Amino acid sequence: MQLNVGDLQTTAMGILPHTDVDRALELSLSLDIPFWPQLPRLHYNEDMYAQASDRFPGVLVDIEQERVTLNTALFYRQLDSYVERSADPANFSLSPEYSAVYHRFLALGPELAKYPAIRGQITGPISYGLKVVDENLKPIIYNDDIRPILYDFFKNKMNAQYRELAAVHPHAFMWTDEPGLELLFSSFTGYTGDRARADLAEMLAGVEGPRGVHLCGNPDWDFLLGTEMDILSFDAYSNGHIFTRYSGEIRRFLEAGHILSWGVIPTAVEEFGREHLDSIVRRIEDMWTYLAAKGIDRERIVRQGLLAPAKCCLLNPDKTVTVERTFDLLREVSAVLRQRYGLV
């Protein structure tokens, strides 16, 4: 399915530092491509790993200790029931207790029609499988019995969410948050890159509608750009100078019709304080100029580009203030660049 996005439209990652549900939703709806916000400061159930755990066999979400673990014996006891229920898409829908915003977002219905697209998100299976450990503190992605269920579960969770979003907007799409891809190629050795590429590709092939991957770190870009997806969202502010060195892979990615979401606005207080409209515009245009010198058509770059904050930020001492200013600057940068490149 063709993505109805690009032309330097604005979007953002799902996680926001807000505890005010109305304000978080308002902030999301201020962008060209809104999303339903995840609010982990409101409740631990909205932590990206806790939220994705909803109905996974053997998983225990400890609200008081704020941790997610898997009990292996419980996994095997619940496995048959999980398989039986897998035929029912409702089993993979996001429960209201795991999101204060998701069902309110869906209920907006006709109000969402004025946007070119809407987006949903879920933690990725690689990140989840590396983060969640069993009773022996072993990441569950290393368990050969659990790993196939892990990928199947996340595929079905993405499809269930996509269907619900597509029911209220014809141009809905999903992406999976995969910060663990950076770890996969560093200290962890029990799960090879080749195996991960094959597993992730197989999962994405089973995802309905447009699908993408988002991450804030610095993974193996050759691995990631070679993975079949429709959109790649990344932290261009911190990692753009490394990312653009993969110009051959980027050219092939764009020539295949895919979309890059450039996370170019910093969200941390100190970094944001050092930047302004002109400096951000100059930073991203420098990256595009470098790619153009490597033979990538600049018009293709902007036509197949989105703009976003660099990353979500829950650690700022000013809580929501800088994040909201990030959204303001994002809209300003988009307006300037869209005007400059004749996109308005």
Q: Decide if 22 contacts 46 (C-beta within 8 A).
A: no
Instruction: Compare 216 and 304 and report the one with higher pLDDT.
Output: 304
Separation CA 171–CA 166 (nearest Å): 7
Instruction: Compare 37 and 179 and report the one with higher pLDDT.
Output: 37
pLDDT digits (tens, 9 = 90+) for 98-109: 999 999 999 998
Question: Within 13 Å and on the Cβ side, how many CA atoms surround 336?
Answer: 15
Whether the predicted pLDDT of 307 surpasses 90: yes
How much is the pLDDT for 186?
53
Work out the pLDDT band at 190, boundaries 50, 70, 90: low
- Could you tell me the CA-to-CA distances from 231 to 132, 204, 214, 342 in Å, in that order? 26, 12, 8, 23
Whether the predicted pLDDT of 188 surpasses 60: no
Q: Decide if 184 contacts 219 (C-beta within 8 A).
A: yes
Chain centroid to CA 80: 31
Q: Decide if 217 contacts 181 (C-beta within 8 A).
A: yes
How much is the pLDDT for 197?
80
Whether the predicted pLDDT of 1 surpasses 70: no
Which domains does the chain show, CATH number per domain?
A: 9-340 (3.20.20)
Q: What is the mean pLDDT of the chain?
A: 93
Starting at the earlier edge strand, list the strands of the sheet with 305-309.
9-10, 305-309, 259-265, 231-234, 211-215, 172-177, 118-123
pLDDT digits (tens, 9 = 90+) for 314-333: 889 999 999 999 999 999 99
- For the segment 233-252, the average pLDDT, to the nearest whole number, is 96
Whether the predicted pLDDT of 22 surpasses 90: yes
Separation CA 91–CA 28 (nearest Å): 27
Work out the pLDDT band at 2, boundaries 50, 70, 90: low
Q: Decide if 181 contacts 126 (C-beta within 8 A).
A: yes
